[in-house]
């Protein structure tokens, strides 16, 4: 994960009459926690119903929206992340947002996370990234625990382990641009088996997962070095500057230069959309308890 994983953080009371939230196209994953008061996003001009109880929201990148409140004053926490766990990323496919009602215990836990993170956000140390990871994982679990997760059988665990090893090998050898055939052979399987394993674990073919890994490495270098694109594209396994540019535009609707500009000057309405890959827990039931999604318009 990039050291710039947390793009924006704010907590406290906001008066929406004195300080209205401007409508803007957000390009980060926004976790928005409402602890006291009532508020909801207005997405592309459409008002979402305000929940009556404390709630946690997650809105996808690329949406144009702002927050409004019927109670005017809201105690809230806003966090913009450049990455979210792959399992949550998959739950968001086709959705504009998720919402989860918070219990008193949840509110206390989220408040504690924000209080823990705040001093590291203001004065970052080497621990800042670890704390940011802890926060995004804990918030993601609040959404994901509403699903019925199927226990992996021993054979499924072996498949997940093979995928994990293949990903790790690819990351180590990314610069040499190994083919799918070579990744498979180096990990003791055929290309067709590698494809079946990735489809079973991630629901994605290997080249899509490996492309995400290349994009993630390029984004990490853009965020944390002053290297030129000429130096970054071969280091992250892309064939050319054009290949890197096209991949960024296709995946995130941003050029590498736009990504670097945003990452250098984060504001509440800025960010970027990446998702990192982790081994998943297998097929998941669509049943849920309290999250309220809306489908993206086609």
The string of DSSP letters for 124-157 reads --TTHHHHHHHHHHHHHHHHHTTS-BPPPPHHHH
Question: What is the Cα–Cα distance from 23 to 21, expressed in whole angstroms?
Answer: 7
CA distances from 128 to 2, 89, 114, 144, 187 (A): 11, 23, 12, 24, 35
3-state helix, strand, coil in the chain (%, to 5): 45, 20, 35
51 near 104, Cβ under 8 Å?
A: no
Query: Are residues 135 and 209 located together in one domain of the fold?
Result: no
Say whether both 12 and 121 belong to one domain.
Answer: yes
| Strongest mean pLDDT among 175-179, 256-260, 293-297 | 175-179
Q: Distance (Å, rounded) from C-alpha 258 to C-alpha 249?
A: 10
pLDDT at 154: 58
182 lies in the same domain as 266? yes
Residue 281 counted as domain residue: no
Distance CA 198, CA 160 (A): 8
Instruction: Give the pLDDT mean for 255-260.
Output: 84
Residue 229 placed within a domain? yes
Does 44 reside within a domain?
Answer: yes
Instruction: Please tell me whether residue 267 adopts helix, strand or coil conformation.
Output: coil
Same domain, 53 and 174: no
Same domain for 143 and 181, yes or no, is no
In a domain, 141, yes or no: yes
Q: Residue 142: which CATH number?
A: 2.60.120.280
Classify residue 282: in a domain, yes or no.
no
d(CA 35, CA 278): 30
Using a pLDDT cut of 90, give the percent of the chain over it. Answer: 44
The verdict on 112 and 160 lying in the same domain is no
Within a domain: 1 = no
Same domain, 197 and 256: yes
Range of the domain at 48: 6-149+287-295
**Integer Cα distance of 3 and 24 in angstroms:** 25
Q: Following DSSP, what letter does each residue of 69-91 receive, concatenated?
A: -SSSEEEEEEEEESEEEHHHHHH
What span, in angstroms and rounded, lies between the C-alpha atoms of 54 and 58?
14
Q: Is residue 116 part of a domain?
A: yes
pLDDT score of 149 more than 80? no
Give the CATH number of the domain where residue 226 resides. Answer: 1.10.10.60
Higher pLDDT, 103 or 92: 103
- Is residue 224 pLDDT above 80, yes or no? no
pLDDT score recorded for residue 243: 94
Same structural domain, 61 and 208: no
Distance spanning both ends of the chain, measured CA to CA: 31
Q: Confirm whether 125 is domain-assigned.
A: yes
Domain count, the chain: 2
Q: Look at residue 159 and tell me whether its pLDDT is greater than 50.
A: yes
């Amino acid at each position: 994960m990039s050291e710039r994983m947390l793009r924006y953080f704010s907590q406290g009371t906001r008066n929406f009459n004195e300080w209205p939230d401007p409508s803007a196209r957000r390009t980060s994953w926004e976790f928005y926690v409402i602890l006291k008061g009532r508020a909801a996003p207005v997405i592309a001009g459409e008002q979402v119903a305000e929940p009556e109880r404390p709630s946690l929201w997650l809105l996808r990148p690329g949406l144009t929206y702002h927050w409004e409140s019927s109670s005017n004053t809201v105690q809230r926490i806003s966090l913009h992340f450049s990455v979210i766990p792959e399992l949550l990323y998959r739950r968001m496919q086709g959705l504009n947002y998720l919402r989860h009602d918070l219990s008193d215990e949840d509110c206390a836990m989220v408040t504690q996370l924000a209080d823990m993170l705040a001093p590291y956000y203001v004065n970052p140390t080497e621990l800042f990234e670890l704390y940011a990871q802890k926060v995004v994982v804990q918030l993601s679990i609040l959404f994901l625990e509403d699903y019925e997760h199927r226990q992996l059988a021993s054979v499924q665990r072996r498949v997940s382990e093979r995928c994990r090893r293949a990903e790790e090998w690819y990351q180590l050898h990314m610069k040499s641009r190994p083919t799918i055939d070579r990744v498979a052979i180096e990990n003791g399987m055929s290309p067709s088996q590698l494809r079946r394993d990735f489809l079973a674990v991630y629901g994605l073919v290997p080249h899509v997962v490996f492309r995400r890994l290349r994009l993630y490495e390029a984004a990490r270098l853009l965020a944390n070095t002053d290297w030129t694109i000429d130096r970054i594209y071969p280091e992250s396994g892309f064939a050319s500057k054009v290949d890197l540019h096209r991949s960024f535009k296709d995946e995130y609707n941003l050029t590498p230069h736009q990504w670097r500009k945003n990452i250098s000057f984060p504001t509440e309405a800025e960010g970027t959309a990446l998702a990192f890959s982790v081994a998943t827990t297998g097929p998941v039931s669509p049943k849920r308890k309290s999250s309220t999604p809306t489908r993206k318009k086609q």
